[in-house]
A = this chain, B = another copy of it.
């Protein structure tokens, strides 16, 4: 993840929108999150990720994948599944996950 947004890809591809509010118990979160950011890069068809966080409030992560096979590999990754369980047990007050197929997209860059 960098300061520039992930650019548009050639549709169709998938966007996974993960919107969270966290609890006061964030022990282990930072390390696990960093590990997940590394691990997802090994998924064939992973395209990129953006994250933004309101200080003390809502966070949004959007990850992009080429196809359903890539989604399935990430969803069923055992280390990722263990991290998801820790998230529900400790780190997240609430979250919503939307899995969506991108139909069109474009990027604007100031010249």
Please report A residues at the B interface, Cβ cutoff 8 Å: 3-8, 14-15, 17, 19-21, 23, 50-55, 57-60, 62, 64, 88, 92-110
Query: For the complex, what is the distance from the CA of A57 to the CA of B44, rounded to whole Å?
Result: 29
Number of copies of this protein chain within its complex: 2
Query: For the complex, what is the distance from the CA of A98 to the CA of B12, rounded to whole Å?
Result: 11
Q: Which residues of B contact A88 (CB under 8 A)?
A: 108
Interface of A is mostly: strand
In contact, A52 and B50 (Cβ under 8 angstroms):
no
In contact, A96 and B100 (Cβ under 8 angstroms):
no
In contact, B57 and A50 (Cβ under 8 angstroms):
no
Q: Which residues of B contact A95 (CB under 8 A)?
A: 5, 107-108
Separation in Å of the A53 CB from the closest CB of chain B? Answer: 6
Separation in Å of the A20 CB from the closest CB of chain B? Answer: 7
In contact, A97 and B8 (Cβ under 8 angstroms):
yes
